[in-house]
Structure 1
Amino acid sequence: MSHTLLIKNMVCARCKMTVLQVLKDLGFKVQSVELGRVVVAERENYDYTNLEIELNELGFELIKETTEAMVEQVKIALIETVEKGDADFILSEVAKKLGKNYSALSKTFSKHEGMTLEKYLINLKIEKVKEYIQLQQLNFSEIAYSLNYKNSSHLAKQFKSVTGMSMTDYKVLQNWERKSIDQIV
């Protein structure tokens, strides 16, 4: 038998490794690790109190509430989508993936996070744009295409409205003020 733990702010491969190490150090028998989710073998003598303390010290949090778990699943789905560069992605697909009604999911997300799903996705994309600019991997048109923008001018307008500066200014300044993904909301 197994038990699933949902963990907030677990948003990258490094996070997975860190959480896995904490669990192993505390004697948990880990069966699988995914972003935001860990499956452990069921045992009565696990020390969940120390696990919670250790995770909190590292910026993670055990999720206990159903609504919070759903919001975290939405965030993970959106983060994975942006990281994959899924140009054909539509927000309503997140709801389908989670087996929820999009309208209800959107309202729950907005109420819980104080930001709409659309705004959260835009902020994720803008942080990805900053990463691409900093790493000089793609030109502006390629960045726009990879993040599902109709054209680079649409991206440029959105970038400026979120950051207050143009993409060119951001590139020239080389003041790489980026937010970590878990700090967007």
Structure 2
Amino acid sequence: MKIFTKFDYNTVCKKVLEDKLGNLDLKYRIIAFGEVEFLEKIPSEKMKLLKEDLEEYGITIIENQKTVLIEKIKETILEMVSSDEPLNVKASVYLSEKLSHSYGYLSNLFSEITFSSIENYIMLQKIERAKSLIIKDNLTLTEVAYKLNYSSVAHLSTQFKNITGITPSQFQRIITKRRELANKQ
């Protein structure tokens, strides 16, 4: 038997953080996704335990300010791509407004630290979201293109093929075949 699951990364991460911080009896408040403010000084032994506990779930405590901003850029892009409503503003404007920095600064910093461009990261995230929408929500390519703010299905298809090596239509056929095989078993 096989099941398919759908979950919200923000909710899962928040729950893990709350559980681990609570287990260590720390006083804190969660400000935003991935941002926790401690309401008391944390002894180094407890901080070490917290780091170890969180690493078990793939959560890392970031201490460098540039790296913190890179993570905020990535989170903002994921938020932007995951939105149920398409944005009516360019990604560069959205990022600048959300993060209170010029897009030039954000773009240069992102490239310096990740060795990739923000545009490329956005494209990768949009394709991952497109695959998810095709698999989980069973949307048509027109619906996917609209949801991800592509100018056309052709534009989506071109980027999809450049990233995955196959067209979204081929991807849909593969998913359909896998479902049929799974249902027969």
TM-score (norm 2): 0.83
> Map of 1:8-87 to 2, 5 A cutoff?
11-32=9-30, 34-45=32-43, 47-85=46-84, 86-87=86-87
- Distance in 1, matches of 2:80 and 2:21, equals 27
- Alignment identity in percent? 28
Corresponding position of 1:173? 174
TM-score (norm 1): 0.83
Q: Where in structure 2 are there 5+ consecutive unaligned residues?
A: 1-8, 179-185
Which amino acid counterpart does residue 66 of structure 2 have in structure 1? T
Greater alpha carbon shift after TM alignment, 146-155 vs 132-141: 132-141
* Change in CA separation of 1:44 and 1:124 when aligned onto 2, cut-off 3 Å: closer
> Map of 1:99-138 to 2, 5 A cutoff?
99-138=100-139
Corresponding position of 1:156? 157
Aligned residues: 167
Q: Where in structure 1 are there 5+ consecutive unaligned residues?
A: 1-10, 177-185
Corresponding position of 2:4? none
Divergent runs of 4+, >6 A: none
- Distance in 1, matches of 2:72 and 2:126, equals 18
| Structure with more contact order per residue of length (Cα contacts < 8 Å, sep ≥ 6) | 1
* Change in CA separation of 1:28 and 1:166 when aligned onto 2, cut-off 3 Å: same
Q: Tell me how large the CA RMSD over aligned residues is.
A: 2.0
Corresponding position of 2:97? 96
The answer as to whether partners of 1:24 and 1:30 remain within 8 angstroms in 2 is: no
Which amino acid counterpart does residue 19 of structure 1 have in structure 2? L
Structure 1 SS opposite 2:90: coil
Q: Which structure features the higher share of helix residues?
A: 2
Larger radius of gyration between Structure 1 and Structure 2: 2
